Structure 1
Amino acid sequence: MRRVELPNGFKVAGFNDLEPAVLYHEMFVERSYLRNGVALSPGDVVFDVGANIGMAALFFYAECPAISIHAFEPGSRTFAALRENMAEFKVPVTLHNAAVSDAPGTALFDFYPRWTALSGLLPDPGEAARIIRTYFGNLGFSEPDVEELLLDRFVRETEECRVTTVSEVIATWGIGALGLLKIDVEKSELAVLRGVRAEHWPRIRQVVMEVHDLRGAGNAAVSLLEDQGFRVTVEQAPLLAGTEVYEVFAVRPGHCGEPGEPG
């Protein structure tokens, strides 16, 4: 783990110089999580599912300091960086060293030390390499430069992790309203949604998630959210054109950026 300085002067704990800069651009510059009517309000509770080293949590806190965050990260090494970053910047956060899925238990977590954001419960180094290759190709990198960037990026480590569900945490912590459910879990996103019990869906005001549209997962996620009463928008970042990775924004009609309980 090392300290990486970001353009805004933050020095974050991370595992390489490149990845925090990419995440900073996506979140702080492109504002990838707060678009299409998704907004934060004072008093909101935010679930950061797939928190990694905490870049999204830092962005949410910088955007609206009067929130509380539950951050979920299963990997022991990334969790250590997350904990360090949250303490360094005094983010009001409850940390969960756990994955989130459709049922509590345990699972195997695959960790890529040199590109941690692509770690997950459903490993596919080939797909991960294709995404990174396409991303940097769209940025204008030459093929030889991209191949050099990819060299040894997907050497992986595997460990057992705890698994929880959104509903288990809502019930355990007595959360009456969830302002934002953010999900970035590398192909496990549909399982996260399926871990929300029927009685808890009305408490969730907004969802923003990365979806890997494999084997119908994208349509299934959109249909599930629409069935729960959300207005759903799907986008693909220009730098991810040519991949199966999309962003899904789900907001309850009449509650765009408004605080309080959903109707």
Structure 2
Amino acid sequence: MRLPNGLMVSHVSTGETALLYRDIFAERCYMQHGITLSPGGTVFDVGANIGMSTLFFHTECAGLTFHAFEPAPDPYAALSANVAAHGIDATATRCALSDHTGTGRMTYYPDSTVMSGFHADAVSEAALTRTFLVRSGFDEEDVEDMLAGRHETVEIEVPVRTLSDVIAELGVTSIDLLKVDVEKSELEVLRGLSEADWPKVGQVVAEVHDLDGTLKAFVSLLDTHGFDVVVEQDALLAGTEIYEVFAVRKAG
């Protein structure tokens, strides 16, 4: 698929990729509230999907090194292809990151891959998608057509690791930006970071689903470990559980 900026990408779903492009490239959703990139930096893309975030960061700033993590086979194949096609200095790993090591049963949406995860709820996610699409300007009939069949699921077993496991294996000494988009598992990702590894992280940007106090716990972890934190919510998602969190390590 050719993106509006002329770049070609491998993908799983045309509509899904178009929405990712709008959020990541056109609206620059990650480059807000003091988030910066510098040549020579290391970026961890957790929940990389087909690699749109990695591709954006790569085009935004030369000289970055990436570690991208995606557990689902089809998005991972597209991620690997995109990293290779665009000459990105990246290691793509097919695994999920969490607060433990082993394997897990993941609910995969073949036609809505970005909604896949360990805590899937097809009914609530269908309602959330409907709200988002209607507020985006689509009429009800088009929305129903777009949603038809999109919430069929497949259960898959995937490898699971912790951030600190990966950091140790790769010998990573700093993570200039940790991007997390893992559909309700974002708190588990942070809890997989040992106390010794927290100082290695300079910035965090994450989508957080505020279920059972998750947002408060997520922000508290960042605050405790020396970050200035900003929380905001997309107007299209007002009244839903989804928030964006931007965290930059305090000077000194």
Asked if Structure 1 and Structure 2 have the same fold, meaning a TM-score greater than 0.5 normalized by the shorter chain, the answer is: yes
1:259 matched residue in structure 2: none
Q: Equivalent of 1:166, from 163, 166, 171?
A: 163
1:248 matched to 2:245? The reply is: yes
- In structure 2, give the amino acid aligned to 1:153: R
The equivalences for 1:1-263 within 5 A come to 4-254=1-251, 263=252
Q: Which moved more, 1:107-116 or 1:43-52?
A: 107-116
Q: Secondary structure at the match of 2:16?
A: helix
TM-fit CA distance, 1:253? 1.9
- In structure 1, give the amino acid aligned to 2:164: S
Matches of 2:137 and 2:174 in 1, distance apart? 43
Structure 2 unaligned segments of length 5 or more: list them.
none
Alignment root-mean-square deviation, CA = 1.0
Is this contact kept in 2: 1:134–1:242, CA < 8 A? no
Matches of 2:171 and 2:11 in 1, distance apart? 32
Matches of 1:175 and 1:17 in 2, distance apart? 35
Matches of 1:233 and 1:68 in 2, distance apart? 26
Deviation track 1:193-245 (CA, whole Å, cap 9, x = no partner) reads 00000010011000000000111101110111101110000011122223111
TM-fit CA distance, 1:144? 2.2
Q: Which moved more, 1:128-137 or 1:196-205?
A: 128-137
Q: Percent identity?
A: 49
Q: Secondary structure at the match of 1:51?
A: coil
Q: Secondary structure at the match of 1:77?
A: helix
- In structure 1, give the amino acid aligned to 2:32: R
Is this contact kept in 1: 2:12–2:74, CA < 8 A? no
TM-fit CA distance, 1:126? 1.5
Q: Secondary structure at the match of 2:244?
A: strand
May I ask how many residue pairs the two structures share in their alignment?
252
- In structure 2, give the amino acid aligned to 1:173: L
Is this contact kept in 2: 1:104–1:164, CA < 8 A? yes
TM-fit CA distance, 1:117? 0.7
Matches of 1:34 and 1:140 in 2, distance apart? 25
TM-fit CA distance, 1:19? 0.7
Is this contact kept in 2: 1:109–1:121, CA < 8 A? yes
Deviation track 1:52-81 (CA, whole Å, cap 9, x = no partner) reads 000000001001121100000001111111
Is this contact kept in 2: 1:134–1:243, CA < 8 A? no
Matches of 1:69 and 1:128 in 2, distance apart? 30
Q: Secondary structure at the match of 1:91?
A: coil
Is this contact kept in 1: 2:50–2:76, CA < 8 A? yes
TM-fit CA distance, 1:139? 1.2
Structure 1 unaligned segments of length 5 or more: list them.
255-262
Matches of 2:212 and 2:111 in 1, distance apart? 28
1:257 matched residue in structure 2: none
Deviation track 1:174-199 (CA, whole Å, cap 9, x = no partner) reads 11111011000000000000000001
TM-fit CA distance, 1:27? 0.5
